[in-house]
Amino acid sequence: MIETSQKQERVILVGVDLPDSDNFEMSMKELASLAQTAGAEVIHSYSQKRERYDSKSFIGSGKLLEIKQMIAADEIDTVIVNNRLTPRQNTYLEAEFGIKVIDRMQLILDIFAMRARSHEGKLQVHLAQLKYMLPRLVGQGLMLSRQAGGIGSRGPGESQLELNRRSIRKQIADIERQLKIVEKNRGTNRDKRLDSEIFKIGLIGYTNAGKSTIMNMLTDKSQYEANELFATLDATTKQIYLLDCFQVTLTDTVGFIQDLPTELVAAFKSTLEESRQVDLLLHIVDASDPNHEEHEQVVLDILSDLGMSAIPRLVVYNKMDKVKKFAASQYPYVSLSAKSQEGALILRQAIVEKIKTMFMPFTLKINQENAYKLYDLSRIALLDSYDVDQDSKEIRGYIAEKNKWRLETFYVELS
């Protein structure tokens, strides 16, 4: 049997730098990384400074001609535009270039489609793609605007465009119905976790910051990790013992990115909901990335948009083995390399210290008859020390305010 490998698409990148554009160079570098993640070979990158986008061609006529010549000379398959194109601009550019033209949003949607593994993830990506496609059906050629007519089909008729629109709207409604069922089941499981006394930690951060590596480091279990954008899409929750018998859950979610398509934010609402219900957020940052401060701000802005700014947060500056000079921009923080042997120990200690600041301290004296209860207590409280004599034990530790009632079951005075 002869194996055939798919030809790598040769692409060129195009971006317009407006006067109010923030981090344009970072955005173009990120576009190149996105294209490579999608399996493309980036041949060249074009940028142009303009006061505003051209309403018809997006770029100026001179740059348009330059790109056309490049396409003809170098066998380019696809043009990827760093900004969101209108349907009109997309159609015009494809007609001018004679090859496929996609924008940043389509590229991200394509990568999400590649990465989705769970049934819910695939549904969410498909929903986002359909919502993106719907307004772009206009101007797709004669076949989409031809009216029914002739013998046996007289009357107002319905354009092929409307038939396609109706089909997509029907698919959207069907997927949204399925997602409501999935979200209801997820909500039931989440409510059970909320009702439990177990401390919940969520991992957030810019894409490719190392969240899955951190997850694997803490859990000793395999979570897909790779040096690529959007390696993880589906929310994954695992349980670990953080200190002795003290249990916590860790939830890894999709990475954030600059200019995340609004369709994806809406489609992934239920996935991001997993991070809204946690007690502590670990904000993972790739300290080796020269643009890490801008990446941090993107994450903070999205957290604000999601109403998650009030959740306690510990910043984890990762990949420190690749950093020569570093200055933290957020506090409290811990710096480490998830690939190092001591990385897990450093992070565990930092998390424990952070949780102590969130919990209330207590001192508890118990007699031997109640000693058997200590195991259950140690699962929800951080116990510091045991002082034992013949009649009683003195326990010092930290416990969540909502769980302090558990201390009363020892029937002794607390201090």
The span from the CA of 112 to the CA of 123, in Å, is 11
Yes or no: say if 256 and 205 are a contact pair by the CB < 8 Å rule: yes
When the pLDDT of each residue in the chain is averaged and rounded to a whole number, the result is: 82
Q: What angle do CA 281, 285, 219 make, to 5 degrees?
A: 60
Q: What percent of the chain has pLDDT over 90?
A: 37
Q: Calculate mean pLDDT across residues 28-33.
A: 91
Identify whether residues 348 and 385 lie together within a single domain.
Answer: no
Identify whether residues 239 and 367 lie together within a single domain.
Answer: no
According to the model, what pLDDT value does residue 313 have? 95
Instruction: Give the residue among 66, 56, 49 at the shortest CA–CA distance from 15.
Output: 49
The span from the CA of 30 to the CA of 211, in Å, is 18
| 3-state DSSP percent of the chain in helix, strand and coil, to 5 | 45, 20, 35
According to the model, what pLDDT value does residue 399 have? 94
The model's confidence at residue 328, banded by pLDDT at 50, 70 and 90, is confident
Q: What angle do CA 344, 232, 118 make, to 5 degrees?
A: 125
Identify whether residues 332 and 390 lie together within a single domain.
Answer: no
According to the model, what pLDDT value does residue 248 have? 93
Domain C-terminal end among 114, 140, 165: 114
Instruction: Give the residue among 154, 139, 235, 239 at the shortest CA–CA distance from 199.
Output: 239
Identify whether residues 349 and 203 lie together within a single domain.
Answer: yes
According to the model, what pLDDT value does residue 11 have? 95
Identify whether residues 372 and 316 lie together within a single domain.
Answer: no
Tell me whether residue 140 is in a domain.
no
CB atoms near residue 347 (< 10 Å): 20
The model's confidence at residue 165, banded by pLDDT at 50, 70 and 90, is confident
**Residues contacting residue 158 through CB under 8 Å, at least 6 positions apart:** 147, 148
User: What DSSP line would sit under 83-130, residue for residue?
Assistant: SPPPHHHHHHHHHHHSSEEEEHHHHHHHHHHHH--SHHHHHHHHHHHH
Q: Which domain holds residue 40?
A: 9-114
Q: How many domains does the structure of the chain reveal? A: 3
The model's confidence at residue 222, banded by pLDDT at 50, 70 and 90, is low
Identify whether residues 279 and 364 lie together within a single domain.
Answer: no
Q: Calculate mean pLDDT across residues 213-221.
A: 85
Tell me whether residue 3 is in a domain.
no
Yes or no: say if 148 and 158 are a contact pair by the CB < 8 Å rule: yes
Which residue would you say has higher pLDDT here, 274 or 27? 27
Identify whether residues 376 and 286 lie together within a single domain.
Answer: no
pLDDT tens figures, 375-413:
888 889 999 866 655 566 788 899 999 888 888 776 544
Query: Poorest-confidence range of 111-115, 136-140, 366-370?
Result: 136-140
The model's confidence at residue 50, banded by pLDDT at 50, 70 and 90, is very high
Tell me whether residue 292 is in a domain.
yes
Q: In what order do the strands lie in the sheet with 333-335?
A: 236-243, 246-252, 199-205, 280-286, 313-318, 333-335
The span from the CA of 147 to the CA of 128, in Å, is 29
Judge whether residue 225 has pLDDT over 80.
no
Provide the CATH number for the domain around residue 201: 3.40.50.300
Which residue would you say has higher pLDDT here, 338 or 224? 338
Element (H, E) at 266: helix 262-267
Identify whether residues 97 and 22 lie together within a single domain.
Answer: yes
According to the model, what pLDDT value does residue 192 have? 61
According to the model, what pLDDT value does residue 3 have? 43
pLDDT tens figures, 234-291:
567 888 999 888 999 998 877 777 767 666 766 566 566 667 788 999 999 999 988 8
CB atoms near residue 382 (< 10 Å): 21
Yes or no: say if 403 and 363 are a contact pair by the CB < 8 Å rule: no
Query: Poorest-confidence range of 127-131, 159-163, 211-215, 326-330?
Result: 159-163
How far apart, in Å, are the Cα atoms of 112 and each of 38, 58, 177, 257, 267? 9, 26, 21, 12, 11
The span from the CA of 285 to the CA of 330, in Å, is 10
pLDDT tens figures, 56-93:
999 999 999 999 999 988 889 999 999 889 989 999 99
pLDDT tens figures, 347-356:
999 999 999 9
Judge whether residue 368 has pLDDT over 50.
yes
Identify whether residues 208 and 350 lie together within a single domain.
Answer: yes
The span from the CA of 128 to the CA of 140, in Å, is 20
According to the model, what pLDDT value does residue 179 have? 86
Yes or no: say if 308 and 325 are a contact pair by the CB < 8 Å rule: no
pTM of the complete model = 0.76
Query: Poorest-confidence range of 43-52, 227-236, 238-247?
Result: 227-236
Domain C-terminal end among 114, 146, 163: 114
Tell me whether residue 164 is in a domain.
no
The span from the CA of 32 to the CA of 13, in Å, is 7
According to the model, what pLDDT value does residue 76 have? 92
Provide the CATH number for the domain around residue 53: 3.40.50.11060
Element (H, E) at 42: strand 41-49
According to the model, what pLDDT value does residue 269 have? 60
Tell me whether residue 66 is in a domain.
yes
Domain C-terminal end among 338, 356, 374: 356
According to the model, what pLDDT value does residue 235 have? 66
According to the model, what pLDDT value does residue 321 have? 92
Query: Which residue has tokens 């502590």?
Result: 280
The span from the CA of 333 to the CA of 314, in Å, is 6
**Which DSSP state fits 147?**
P
Query: Which residue has tokens 């929750």?
Result: 237
Tell me whether residue 189 is in a domain.
no
Identify whether residues 221 and 292 lie together within a single domain.
Answer: yes
Identify whether residues 246 and 315 lie together within a single domain.
Answer: yes
Judge whether residue 4 has pLDDT over 50.
no
Identify whether residues 209 and 331 lie together within a single domain.
Answer: yes
User: What DSSP line would sit under 287-337, residue for residue?
Assistant: TTSTTHHHHHHHHHHHHHHTT-TTS-EEEEEE-GGG-SS----SSSEEE--
Query: Poorest-confidence range of 31-45, 194-208, 303-317?
Result: 194-208
Yes or no: say if 218 and 226 are a contact pair by the CB < 8 Å rule: no
